[in-house]
Amino acid sequence: MNTIDTYDFAGKKAIVRVDFNVPLNENFEITDDTRIRAAIPTLKKVLEKGGSLIIMSHLGRPKGPAEKFSLKHVIARIEKYLGVKVQFAEDCQKADAQAAALKPGEVLLLENLRFYAEEEGKPRGLAEDASDDEKKAAKAAVKESQKGFVAKLASYADCYINDAFGTAHRAHASTALIAKYFPNDKMFGYVMEGEIKAIDTVLNNPKRPLTAILGGAKVSSKIGIIENLLDKVDNLIIGGGMVYTFIKAMGGKVGNSICEDDQIDTAKAIMAKAEAKGIDLMLRRNVVVADNFSNDANTQVVSNFDIPDGWEAMDASSESIAKWSKVIDNSNTILWNGPLGVFEMPNFAKSTNAMAELLAKATERGAYTLVGGGDSVAAVTQMGYADKVSYVSTGGGAMLEYLEGIELPGIKAIRE
């Protein structure tokens, strides 16, 4: 398989799918350019090796062309980091002449791919009362025109690089379909390589014991991950609001805590599987509860199996943190996804912050630590620990699907 390091880019045009889906304020200024900075090493490498770049991305969720979602807002920032002038193609389907004229070292950015429905391959503008037949016909039509859309993008370049891990779980034109035009000239960028290596280290090649910590609000969004991880981990710590569905399933009293009644049977099945595998989910514990969902609510510490009416679980107790810390101190590979309390409120961010600190310490003594998922990434970053863990995954949904054991279309398209 080709890699950026081994491929000969001299005199070649590389079309690179990046994730420049950055947040913009009302003046169209970038408020967080992490994703742009992440892609720079890949882009620089192509230029250094004598290639030229055609950069493509989506931005937001436009329904068609719209100023608000234009990628022209990111041109100056790319120029700043690359140190090269960036040309712009105002229509990603009409860039033939600009692409053809590109010389080694030059850069062309294509306008937002999602200005076209063909990028995602989903019909737009269907009437709400459209019949099933009409929906089917519209879908078939967009799939058909998607072929021309992909072929056009592919025609601009000699090779294809996918460096957009954040959209690797989508089988879109630019993230998967385009790869077949470059059977011998396709590869991952450094962001993708890094993400794949980090998750594979945890899932397929961990130094044991392997411990996973899963938090967050809902069991329903993590079922697939829990099931896949139960086959791989030595320890699984379940935290956050998700715990209360399990507590209820065991016959406990959850008060006003967040709880998914329709997931009780799932929780029971997960507990049975964990027991069969000899994994202690450590679900029963003391917890910090509050008398309403606000930062300055009254609080007390109670057993999470017997939460009084009118009170709700908000944060893990110091006792739980101490127990988890023992497990983490004995682990050599640690994966963390999802906050362990309502960390958006400073008074209930203690256990989430404590976990960030535990992981930083574990990393220092040589454990491999992977943090992923928007909220836990925000927590380690806020605490200044992003550089103190082994890897921080930037691909929220893509990482979750990868952890479920699903082969992501964006990865498959490069590998096959």
DSSP bridge partners of 337: 214, 372
Choice among 60, 224, 396, 397 that is catalytic: 397
Q: Cα–Cα distance between 129 and 226 in angstroms, integer?
A: 38
The DSSP bridge pattern shows strands 52-56 and 86-89 to be unpaired
314 near ligand AMP, rule: CB under 6 A: yes
240 near ligand AMP, rule: CB under 6 A: yes
Q: Give the total of residues touching ligand AMP (CB under 6 A).
A: 18
Active site residue 224: no
Active site residue 397: yes
* Binding span for ligand AMP by CB under 6 A among 7-15, 153-161, 213-221, 259-267: 213-221
Cβ nearer to ligand AMP, comparing 241 with 395: 241
252 near ligand AMP, rule: CB under 6 A: no
Choice among 374, 396, 405, 412 that is catalytic: 374
Q: What is the chain's length?
A: 416
Cβ nearer to ligand AMP, comparing 12 with 218: 218
338 near ligand AMP, rule: CB under 6 A: yes
> Is the link from the previous residue into 209 a cis peptide, with omega within 30 of 0?
yes
Torsion of CA 77, 80, 85, 89, to 10 degrees: -10
CB proximity list for 404: less than 8 A, separation 6 or greater? 224, 225, 227, 228
The helix (run of H) or strand (run of E) holding residue 369 is strand 368-372
372 near ligand AMP, rule: CB under 6 A: no
Do 178 and 149 meet the contact criterion of CB atoms below 8 Å apart? no
Q: Cα–Cα distance between 323 and 302 in angstroms, integer?
A: 16
The burial class, CB within 10 Å (0-12 / 13-18 / 19+), for 133 is exposed
284 near ligand AMP, rule: CB under 6 A: no
Active site residue 218: yes
Q: Cα–Cα distance between 321 and 190 in angstroms, integer?
A: 35
Cβ nearer to ligand AMP, comparing 241 with 252: 241
408 near ligand AMP, rule: CB under 6 A: no
The helix (run of H) or strand (run of E) holding residue 314 is strand 312-316
Both tokens of 104, joined, read: 């080694």
Upper half-sphere CA count for residue 217 (Cβ side, 13 Å): 6
* Binding span for ligand AMP by CB under 6 A among 68-76, 86-94, 189-197, 337-345: 337-345
Q: Which of 221, 292, 295, 300 binds ligand AMP (CB under 6 A)?
A: 221
292 near ligand AMP, rule: CB under 6 A: no
121 near ligand AMP, rule: CB under 6 A: no
339 near ligand AMP, rule: CB under 6 A: yes
Q: Cα–Cα distance between 209 and 333 in angstroms, integer?
A: 6
Do 252 and 304 meet the contact criterion of CB atoms below 8 Å apart? yes
Q: Which of 62, 166, 189, 241 binds ligand AMP (CB under 6 A)?
A: 241
217 near ligand AMP, rule: CB under 6 A: yes
Active site residue 395: no
Cβ nearer to ligand AMP, comparing 78 with 342: 342
Cβ nearer to ligand AMP, comparing 67 with 261: 261
395 near ligand AMP, rule: CB under 6 A: no
Q: Taking the complex as a whole, how short is the minimal distance between the CB of residue 195 and ligand AMP, in angstroms?
A: 18
Both tokens of 292, joined, read: 């309403």
Both tokens of 139, joined, read: 């879908």
258 near ligand AMP, rule: CB under 6 A: yes
Choice among 13, 35, 170, 248 that is catalytic: 35
Cβ nearer to ligand AMP, comparing 157 with 399: 399
223 near ligand AMP, rule: CB under 6 A: no
Choice among 72, 218, 284, 412 that is catalytic: 218
Q: Cα–Cα distance between 125 and 144 in angstroms, integer?
A: 17
Q: Cα–Cα distance between 112 and 89 in angstroms, integer?
A: 10
Question: Which residues of this protein are in contact with ligand AMP, per CB under 6 A?
Answer: 215-218, 221, 240-241, 258, 313-314, 338-339, 341-344, 373, 375
Q: Active-site residue numbers? A: 35, 218, 374, 397
